[in-house]
Amino acid sequence: MSTQTVHRTPSVGVTSKSTRDIETDILIVPVFEDDVLAEEAELDAASGGEIAGARTRGEFKGKDYEAFIPPVRGWKAGRVALVGMGRRRDFGLDCLRRAAATGALAARQRRLQRMAIVHGAGIPVSAPDAAQVLAEGAVLGNFDGASYKTTDPPPVWLEDVQLRIEGDPGTVQQAVDRGRVLGECTNIARELANEPSNALTPRVFADRAATIARGAGLSVDALDETRIAELRMGLLLGVARGSQEPPRLVVLQYDPKPAARTPVLGLVGKGITFDSGGISIKPAENMDKMKDDMSGGAAVLAGMVAIARLQAPVRCIGVIPMTENMPGGRALKPGDVLVSAEGKTVEVLNTDAEGRLTLGDACWYARQLGATHLVDVATLTGACVVALGRTTTGLFGTPDAWVEQVRRVGERAGDRLWRMPVFDDYKELFKSEIADVANTGGRAGGAITAALFIKEFTGDLPWAHLDIAGTAWAEEAKPYQPKGATGVAVRTLAELALAVDAWATL
């Protein structure tokens, strides 16, 4: 099937011009609720007092991501847009990232192709950090998920973005380039997760992953069903049994020459290209969303691409098990027992708890390939959505110091992560009478028992599990985010690799 382009990466540069002299279609000025625009004293006068009037009338308060576009005369920008960032005391890096994305979407809605963003000295963040997140946000706003519409006019793309930031030019431009890569790789993951499952089958996903990864200089090994069987991956093969589509296991490797042989960061992503629930079939309502059950795999792929392009100083391995979960005549049945590649036996009590099965074999394989630290990413449980909603990713793992490192880089990356318990007591819930473990522990603590099931296959390595079931898909549009795939976890994985010095000895 033919599709429209869904994202484009604009050129992003730095300018030192005064705001009134920047030539662009729209100039974005992020402001706080309590901001008096002292740094842009001429702006209200250029608007003929419209900004002050809007403030007085309550038309524009500076609340989170609301935009106000006053008429401005005498400035070289075609339009000026004030974008709210809420209260100054609540500010974080993600506020600035989202303000940039809001501006980019506002520009594109007006069919504008050039944008500039002002980083005022009153915004409490360093010039390099501001440069990175503003570039990320501008690129993230240059995304459109309507790839299969044939009647709408094609989207308008931002082609040029200028950032007015004061600081060392070389350092600032380096941060801009880093943000541009991270934004582009996030969009790659969003594009894949938005694809319908008839277009993105396991074989197609594997082929596209190989092409994307090789383009970034990664080495790729795509294992077919024969090679998967030779590795005795009974969990992955068991899930794949009900589908006419054969499974794939894609392995990506990044091996920078100057890096030490250890540590080796192992990234594992769930790649279920469609999840019907199998014999334990899901309700029909919202089953269409299960095309995004490969979002974890897309995050690992795009994260590995970012790691390679940014030349992170650490060896990395990405493992993505890909299959459908379907209720065919040969499908896995409740009560079946599977044997994992590691030799552990698993009683299947619910065929809709399939993602953890594929991740079990994949984590084992990452260990065989030399991983010393593991992170898995998966749209794993509805229980995590119940616990944390759709704005926060569940974070599980051991030991504490390693999990805290993942949390910190996630916060920097704009992926809100919340630590969940992994006490051994929960293991009692997924005991089996006839096998080593069962694949589900029931409804109580469902996200925790799912995480602990995966831990059974991590070999006691430092391990973190990101349950992105609630955060991989935006159910409604926001000023900074259209409805659809979010690309969650891509930037977290890349930032983790870049921050290797903080965790190498854990």
Strand boundaries in 409-462, DSSP class E = 417-419, 437-438
Residues 172, 276 within the same domain: no
How much is the average pLDDT of 34-49? 78
Pairing of the two strands 11-15 and 219-223: unpaired
pTM for the full predicted model: 0.96
* Percent above pLDDT 70 for the chain: 98
- Mean pLDDT computed over 358-365: 98
More confident residue, 37 or 16: 16
CB atoms closer than 10 angstroms to residue 137: 29
pLDDT number for residue 123: 87
- Examine the pLDDT at 500 and tell me if it is beyond 60: yes
Q: Within a domain: residue 100? A: yes
Alpha carbon distance 452, 144 (integer Å): 37
Q: Are residues 104 and 177 in the same domain?
A: yes
Are 325 and 276 within 8 A, CB to CB?
yes
Res. 2: pLDDT tops 90: no
**344 burial via Cβ count (<10 Å: 0-12, 13-18, 19+):** middle
Residue 351: which residues within 8 A CB-CB, separation 6 or more?
277, 278, 279, 280, 325, 327, 331, 332, 333, 334
Note down the domain range covering 55.
Answer: 11-190
The mean pLDDT of 405-423, rounded to a whole number, is 97
Neighbouring residues of 37: CB distance < 8 A, sequence distance ≥ 6: 29, 31, 43, 44, 51
Q: State the Cα–Cα distance between residues 158 and 136, nearest whole angstrom.
A: 13
Amino acid letter for position 258: P
**Are 128 and 163 within one domain?**
yes
Query: How many other C-beta atoms lie within 10 A of the C-beta of residue 244?
Result: 9
Q: How far is CA 345 from CA 33, 360, 433, in A?
A: 58, 11, 11
Are residue 169 and residue 208 in the same domain, yes or no?
no
Write out pLDDT tens, residues 336-351.
999 999 999 999 999 9
- Going by DSSP bridges, is the β-strand pair 345-347/337-339 parallel, antiparallel, or unpaired? antiparallel
Does residue 286 lie in a domain region?
yes
CATH of the domain at 376: 3.40.630.10
Question: 154 with 219, same domain?
Answer: no
User: What would the mean pLDDT of 265-280 be, rounded to a whole number?
Assistant: 98
The answer, yes or no, to whether residue 424 has pLDDT greater than 90, is: yes
| pLDDT per position as a tens digit, 240-263 | 999 999 999 999 999 998 888 999
Q: Decide: 251 and 223 in contact? Cβ < 8 Å.
A: yes
User: And the tokens for 380?
Assistant: 């794993």
Mean of per-residue pLDDT scores for the chain = 95
Measuring CA to CA, which residue among 263, 345, 303 is closest to residue 488?
A: 303
**What sign for the dihedral angle of Cα 240, 245, 247, 253?**
negative
pLDDT digit string (tens) for 296-306? 999 999 999 99
Query: In 3D, which of 7, 6, 64, 4 has the Cα closest to residue 31?
Result: 64
Q: Are residues 313 and 397 in the same domain?
A: yes
Co-location of 236 and 350 in the same domain: yes
pLDDT of residue 225: 98
* Residue 218: Cβ within 10 Å count: 23
Which pLDDT score, from 0 to 100, does residue 55 have? 85
So what's the pLDDT on residue 362? 98
d(CA 412, CA 343): 39
Give the model's pLDDT for residue 314.
97
- What does the pLDDT read at residue 44? 86
Q: 3-state class of 428 per DSSP?
A: helix
Q: Is 2 a member of any domain?
A: no
The answer to whether the beta carbons of residues 164 and 15 sit under 8 Å apart is yes
Tokens of 5: 């382009």
Cα(232)–Cα(229) distance, rounded to whole angstroms? Answer: 5
pLDDT of 4 > 80? The answer is no
The Cα-based distances of 203 to 30, 200, 208, 299, 373 in angstroms read: 44, 8, 9, 18, 28
322 and 226 in a common domain: yes
Residue 472 sits at φ, ψ, to 5 deg, of: -75, -20
Residue 208 near residue 322, CB atoms below 8 Å: no
Active site residue ranges: 282, 356
What mean pLDDT do residues 393-418 have? 98
Is 455 part of any domain? Answer: yes
Of the candidates 68, 60, 136, 69, which has an alpha carbon nearest to the alpha carbon of residue 97? Answer: 136
Task: Identify the band that residue 14 occupies on the pLDDT scale cut at 50, 70 and 90.
Answer: very high
Q: What is the CATH number of the domain that holds 167?
A: 3.40.220.10
pLDDT (0 to 100) of residue 1:
52
d(CA 284, CA 288): 8
pLDDT at position 248, please? 98
What pLDDT is recorded for position 38?
57
Q: What is the pLDDT of residue 37?
A: 67
Q: How far apart are CA 465 and CA 485, in angstroms?
A: 20
pLDDT band at 146 (very low <50, low <70, confident <90, very high): confident
Question: In the chain, how many domains are there?
Answer: 2
Task: Quote the CA–CA distance of 142 and 12 in Å, as a whole number.
Answer: 12
pLDDT of residue 121: 73
End-of-domain residue from the set 190, 207, 225 = 190
Q: What percent of the chain has pLDDT over 90?
A: 89
Instruction: Give the end of a domain, one of 190, 219, 243.
Output: 190
Q: What angle do CA 457, 268, 505 make, to 5 degrees?
A: 80
Short-list 432, 429, 435, 461, CA closest to 448: 429
User: Residues 172, 205: one domain?
Assistant: no
Answer for the pair 344, 238: CB distance below 8 angstroms, yes or no. Answer: no
